[in-house]
Amino acid sequence: MLYSEIVIVGCGNPLFGDDGFGPAVIEEMKNFKLPDNVTIQDGGAGAPHYIFNFLNPDVTKKLIVVDIADFNAKPGSISKISGKNLKPGAYIDPHSWDGVDQLCRIK
């Protein structure tokens, strides 16, 4: 597998309505010419289990996860959340993903 400096992963399951937002964004991004140092991946609902396989600490500089979340914002809002601002154990994921804790460790 070739690793990229920037990895963008869309998470979610389109069978559950707006939960398919992440994969839909990745599908749309396939229509654009992206820089060679960017990899996009539809992680689907299984992304939490293998998302970190796309990363190489010696190569990857940025991980962008496109997903939906309830942060008490107006529906349809887009937020940029830095790993620095995530608190381990503070978020509940319907897929039982402990990925936030993992993301906190790779700040």
Please write the tens of the pLDDT for every residue from 25-68.
999 999 999 999 999 999 888 776 777 777 888 888 998 989 88
Which residue range forms the structural domain that includes residue 51?
Answer: 6-105
Does the residue 33 lie in any domain?
Answer: yes
Inside any domain, residue 18: yes
* CATH code of 79's domain: 3.40.50.1450
Q: How far apart are CA 11 and CA 45, in angstroms?
A: 6
Domain count for the chain, please give it.
1
Taking residues 88-104, report their average pLDDT: 57
The reported pLDDT for the residue numbered 43 is 87
- Full-model pTM: 0.76
Helix, strand, coil in percent for the chain, rounding step 5: 30, 15, 50
**What distance separates the 2 farthest-apart alpha carbons in the chain?**
39
Task: Flag whether 1 is in a domain.
Answer: no
